[in-house]
Amino acid sequence: MKKILILTLGTILLLTACGGTPISPTPLPTSTATPLPPTVTASVTPTDTATPTFTPSPIPSATWVAQGPGNVMVPILLYHRIDYSPIDSRYYVTPEKFESEMKLLYDWGYTSITTEMLVKAITEGAELPPRPFLVTIDDGNLDNYTNAFPIMQKYGFTGVLYLVYNYVGTEHYMNKDQILEMVEAGWEVGSHSMNHFDLKKIKPDQQRNEIVESRQLLEKLIGVPVKTFAYPFGSRNDSAINYVHFAKYIAAMSAEGFTADQGKGNLYILQRMEIKGTDDAKTFIRFLPWHGDPAYLPTDTPTPTATSTWTPRP
């Protein structure tokens, strides 16, 4: 019997050495590893070169840890368009780049959370999963539904849609049914104002309409709670922030950021890190507080090129 076992193992090794696909070890039934989502395969992709390919390791079972009250480390990523830019705009991230970024987050063990979970951790203290993060997408463009949504579903992530009320259902923007489909899949909805005006350039009564009325009308239109606000262009002043409090939003998002450190002091100007079209999976990791195995970084990421820094309506 021992001779037969040795011969069998030798045969397997010989087949592998002759160009067969490398055989990945199968986790034992007693492993605590959580299997990959059904849509993400762990098979090794054959290549034409001798360069080894890497298979994502199963992410360990989440050990949630109590965090807060006070400051917590949660990177908040800001996107606008997940599509191909006709004008070389910074607001467009191609679906391929977006997927490479989501895949890297998945391979490095990140877990998407909700804004409510973040706010509760900051204000009261709450258990959060290892490496929590938020994906936020502003404006409500149709590509959020056609491109971003299926990619994030593939990796088991959800995000926050910041909708401009008067854009909903118009050409090139999501309609109510598409938004609700994403909500049913675990996405949140926040307000991004009525008309996407620069709040610092309008009068207080207009600010009230953009901030307060937008929440009321979005909740009436979609039928789901709208609990957070994102300042258009990240622009705000004391009056705008006061109206955010008056409208009883639990938090608000800025459009700039340089750290994942979120706390009570910036609950109404939470730091979001904008991911531009020039970023890729190798450059956007500067926003991440936790890194993983560099083997998961793409090997064919193009060098970023200069793009336009402004578009009239992202």
Residue 156 resides in a domain: yes
C-alpha triplet 77, 80, 81: angle, nearest 5°: 125
Q: Is residue 52 part of a domain?
A: no
Domain containing 283 equals 72-292
Percent of the chain with pLDDT over 70: 75
Dmax of the chain from CA atoms?
A: 87
CA distances, 294 to each of 24, 51, 285, 298, 299 (Å): 19, 15, 11, 9, 10
Which domain CATH number covers 181? 3.20.20.370
The single residue listed with the structure tokens 């490496």 is 131
Determine, yes or no, domain membership for 114.
yes
Neighbours of 128 (CB within 10 A): 22
Domain count within the chain: 1
CA nearest to 102, candidates 60, 94, 192 = 94
> Is 286 inside a domain boundary?
yes
pLDDT tens, 239-257? 999 999 999 999 999 998 8
Q: How much is the pLDDT for 69?
A: 97
DSSP state of 141: B
Can you tell me the distance from the alpha carbon of 195 to that of 158, in angstroms, rounded to the nearest whole number? 25
Q: Tell me the pLDDT tens digit for each residue of 200-245.
A: 999 999 999 999 999 999 999 999 999 999 999 999 999 999 999 9
Residues 217-254 as b or e (16 or more Cβ within 10 Å = b): bbeebbeeebbbbbbbbbebeeebbbbbeebebbbbbb
